[in-house]
Structure 1
């Protein structure tokens, strides 16, 4: 593998030729902030937050798409770079819904974190015209709020990576927004509800629907017997949200917490899966013996089922 020698903030390092400045910096343990970057999925230099200074270059360059060259000297945290990033954040905020207190991503928002890091203390520094978009809550699992969208296109790239590609950039210039074809709501396009757009959104533009209120109401209703089913993966992923090491098994703590919340019973979905297998086997035998429709394909994943229904009916 061909390598090149470069300097980042005065530190000499050797990296593979052709990689981006951002990748080189991360290999050296030097953080460069980004909002739109997803490795090998969305490397488009759209957000302009990753701007860095390169000795000899006419201006700042985007670290996520600019390749390294032999002898290159890079500076990631000069005053010029910091001013550029702060200005970009202020411009993003000029068309952004800034009701952070009521946003479910408050405290876990990449844009909010960067604004704090770069000292953005006047959210209306560039106050101007805004387009008010309507919420799209047409599907059961999520809400889309384009008023909080920063046009990073990470959701678009994630949707394309899933081979679904139902969303993209519509219109041009100031009117550009992320939506489906002809601005249809998600219930009327071939969205499979996989949730990858939500996972990759850096703000509150795409969020899961919150059913906490009806669940708590059911728990406190003495006429109802409330149970909860937990997916097998949750027992080893939930701990990360509480600062535990990745893969920590918190099954006991999780069950205890759910019971203290007021659930009458807590079941692992493994039980439901076992019951489903019995039912599927019964249905399969009935089809074979009585000339029913074959082949019979089943899945416990609603996203997989919707994908087949939409794309391989």
Structure 2
């Protein structure tokens, strides 16, 4: 049995462990703050559920193992400065940007990037955190503590947000999941829908873009690419060298989930093109107390992470997979009555997305 150590023991690590079981792969999520070091054998493998981690005895032990796949990639993509440089080097469309160093003024930003620009911390910011808008009309200036710690991007007037997830093995074979339409509220993924027929014309372009990244990095495993759609063009917003929230729907809606695809690639189990079982909707549960009635909704597949419920925290998700829209919408309408009122607009967005194809 292959043994794969996973740096990190959050919900993604748990899902990877679960997906590895049918493959006869032993996956072991590791608490990076543990006082007990992992007992690594020479032929063990190492992967990660996160792209950034602190320097601890555990992370040192894992990072020093010669079979830590993609080790050279994580730091490069975790830093938005080097991530942007990579996208530019590969000729992939992304928001025009600048490094926020000591020489850049807000006037420089407005002159080069336009009247609205978004500063992002180079590392650590996610789910809407670590961001700061510069708006010329309001005379916004660059705070001193953001200098040499951030990049700034042109504000993009996009039509929609979407993501694609792909997997690559050691021999360079690649497979992709369908483009997934996403709803971000406050910078946090709240819902996703896939596949939508109207997104099919963009699928080949998205696969080409992500494939170029996977090959350029000699990457092994699953990677996610979040994009803005502007007309018929895709602009890369963020990259994640790991399994990703936007493809959680694959647990219920694909013959091979993103988690299984990642474990196959890492452990050397043959990849296969995932077959999509139907129309999929995933609702993120954010700071929402557990409700046993979710499990009684026909077609609903709740996944509870077992974490303490805190405001805005991802504590679970619910997926619907159906071949007919009518049954799917019935389930969503039932769920709407059992979620906090703020989810009304989320369910409405999903139903509008389904109606628009």
TM-score normalised by the chain length of structure 2: 0.26
Higher strand proportion: 2
Higher helix proportion: 1
TM-score normalised by the chain length of structure 1: 0.28
- Specify the structure having the higher radius of gyration (Cα): 1
Return the structure number with greater relative CO, CA threshold 8 A, min gap 6: 2
